[in-house]
Structure 1
Amino acid sequence: MNTKKYRYPSVLTVAGFDGSGGAGIQADIKTISALGCYATSALTALPVQNTQGVRTIYPIPYQAVQEQIETILDDIFPDAIKIGMVHTSELVDTIVDTFARYADTPPVVFDPVMVATSGDKLIADQTITTIVERLFPIAAVITPNMDEAAILAEMPVRTLDDMYLAGEKIQKLGCRSVLLKGGHLEAPRLISLYFEAGGAVHEFSFDKFDTNNTHGSGCTLSSAIASYIALGNNLLDSVSNGQKYVHEAIFRGRDVQIGKGNGPLNHFFNPQQLTKYDLV
């Protein structure tokens, strides 16, 4: 009889809700699962939204957020953490203070969700300072898009030169590394920039194609990066592989109509079985 025990690499997502299934914690769980990791979650907010936009946002009590995180960390300690929607300063403090009570917090991927694909602003203005002061220092990488980078760097971000300058400014705010996503760049190809902790900047380029099905692409990317970290990849490879996964997921879902607005990605274009590691 085989008595050997194994474990799954796990990723904890701390994020908001999306009942339409394309973004937020639903997209995170799909992504983590599709890449062969075990998904756990803590809900930070209850946006009422669909593919056409956000109608309202209902808060989750801060004590409930704290208890959700503690319950998971006490039982299924993750190999990586993805943090998404944190829309108040109190919520930022709750998350950071909760993680601080645990030794050896795993790598954190923070997606500074400020603007939805639909253009809706999702974050309170006073929260930005708290995010920079408290969340940036604990994140291994943050993943702003061009609109979010413009808010953080306090400058217009429209060109590739703007992206280089904004990325340098954001990194000086105290985060270790920055992946600045260029999905809205007016250029023949999609270009993203990864600013490493040591000062190196890596440029990633992908083919463009026409589709409205990009709802949840930022959530998916940050979760994919966290999943690749949990699978044992270094940060640069995780950033690279995460982008390749998202680009392919968008491409494979480009001609599918789900909803009346910006549709979701095809997260399960090549689902992996749950990875099993020896239990040490």
Structure 2
Amino acid sequence: MNAAPPRVLTVAGSDSGGGAGIQADLKSMLANGVHGMSVLTAITAQNSLGVQGAWELPEEQVVAQFRSVVDDIGVDAVKTGMLASASMVRVVASLLRTLPADVPVVIDPVAVSKHGDKLLGADAMDAVRSEIVPLATVLTPNLTELGPVAGVELRGVDDRELAAKILLDAGASWVLVKGGHDEGPLSVDVLHGPGVREEFSSPRVDNRHTHGTGCTLASAIASYLARGYDVPAAVGAAKDYISGAVAAGFALGGGIGPVDHAWQFRDISHPGHPGRSKQE
């Protein structure tokens, strides 16, 4: 009998277009060597052009999915994404508190889709700050989410440092401030932790097809934590993975296409493979 790979659970919304959400999470987990499982919190009608509709699942369905997976299969790490409302945030937080203390939790505070569609109710951010942030092994806000989740206005780089400190003080063990929405030749993510400030950078790629970047990165971090990496090593490995996936992102539909979750497995001759230029 073959040994089972590490088990990672995503608690998030569904993206019918397959680029982000639960679908991106499971692809990222498979690509990074773990068995992915899911608890759906919401269903969206979504494609490359945007989100046409979103429907939150009843709380009892979310609880039933979580208990079904955790009580039988177990988990080695958990990642959360779209939680949609304050009530859903509280339900998920109550479920996360039932996990063993050594199970790492990666929190992606999803607030807005790649197309600018709101995915988190206005009343939910306070609940995220008070209920979910203290449970985070790693919190992964982008620059759009960082200020609201910390409860501060970002006017400059110094405010990013302040926001990260506020979130650490609120109970997050580590905060990864993602720089994908920044400008400049490099995409720089900054990891803040106990006595640690570490930067992870990669060349900024001229590719608009980046749908699912945040979900994919958070799921990759959770995958490496489940495999036994410490947090800085998990973030570094996940950063390498997402950088390749973004570089290989492809057009799909009439709008913003997804990152390529399987870029590592493409033939080197594939036109989107990041390693192709090194061979030419």
Shift in alpha-carbon separation, 1:156–1:261, aligned structure 2, 3 A: farther
**Of 57, 81, 96, the match for 2:93:** 96
Structure 1 counterpart of 2:216: 220
Question: Which stretches of structure 1, 4 residues or more, deviate above 4 A after TM superposition?
Answer: none
CA drift of 1:211 comes to 1.0
Residue 245 of structure 2: SS of its match in structure 1?
helix
Alpha-carbon contact 2:190-2:200 (below 8 Å) kept: yes
Structure 1 counterpart of 2:200: 204
Residue 161 of structure 2 is aligned to residue 164 of structure 1 = yes
Give, in whole Å, the separation in 2 of the partners of 1:175 and 1:215.
26
Alpha-carbon contact 2:143-2:178 (below 8 Å) kept: yes
Give, in whole Å, the separation in 2 of the partners of 1:103 and 1:192.
29
5+ long unaligned stretches in structure 2: 267-280
Give, in whole Å, the separation in 1 of the partners of 2:26 and 2:99.
23
Give, in whole Å, the separation in 2 of the partners of 1:31 and 1:91.
24
Structure 2 counterpart of 1:86: 83
CA drift of 1:170 comes to 2.7
CA drift of 1:176 comes to 1.5
Structure 1 counterpart of 2:147: 150
Q: Deviations over 1:2-54 (max 9, x none)?
A: xx652211110111000100000000000001111111101000121111111
Give, in whole Å, the separation in 1 of the partners of 2:75 and 2:217.
18
CA drift of 1:168 comes to 2.1
TM-score (norm 2): 0.90
Q: Deviations over 1:211-260 (max 9, x none)?
A: 1111000000000000001111111100111111101111122xx31111
Structure 2 counterpart of 1:140: 137
**Of 261, 264, 268, the match for 1:270:** 264
After superposition, where does 1:3-18 map in structure 2 within 5 Å?
6-18=3-15
5+ long unaligned stretches in structure 1: 273-280
Instruction: Give the share of equivalent positions with the same residue, in percent.
Output: 38
- Provide the aligned length of Structure 1 versus Structure 2: 266
CA drift of 1:61 comes to 0.5
Structure 1 counterpart of 2:29: 32
Alpha-carbon contact 2:104-2:137 (below 8 Å) kept: yes
**Of 66, 69, 79, the match for 1:69:** 66
Alpha-carbon contact 2:50-2:115 (below 8 Å) kept: yes
TM-score (norm 1): 0.90
**Of 235, 238, 263, the match for 1:239:** 235
Deviates more, 1:37-46 or 1:169-178: 169-178
Give, in whole Å, the separation in 2 of the partners of 1:97 and 1:105.
16
Cα RMSD after superposing both structures: 1.7
Structure 1 counterpart of 2:122: 125
CA drift of 1:96 comes to 2.0
Give, in whole Å, the separation in 1 of the partners of 2:244 and 2:104.
25
Q: Which amino acid in structure 1 is aligned with residue 113 of structure 2?
A: A
Give, in whole Å, the separation in 2 of the partners of 1:182 and 1:175.
19
Give, in whole Å, the separation in 2 of the partners of 1:41 and 1:189.
33
Q: Which amino acid in structure 1 is aligned with residue 182 of structure 2?
A: L
Residue 270 of structure 1: SS of its match in structure 2?
helix
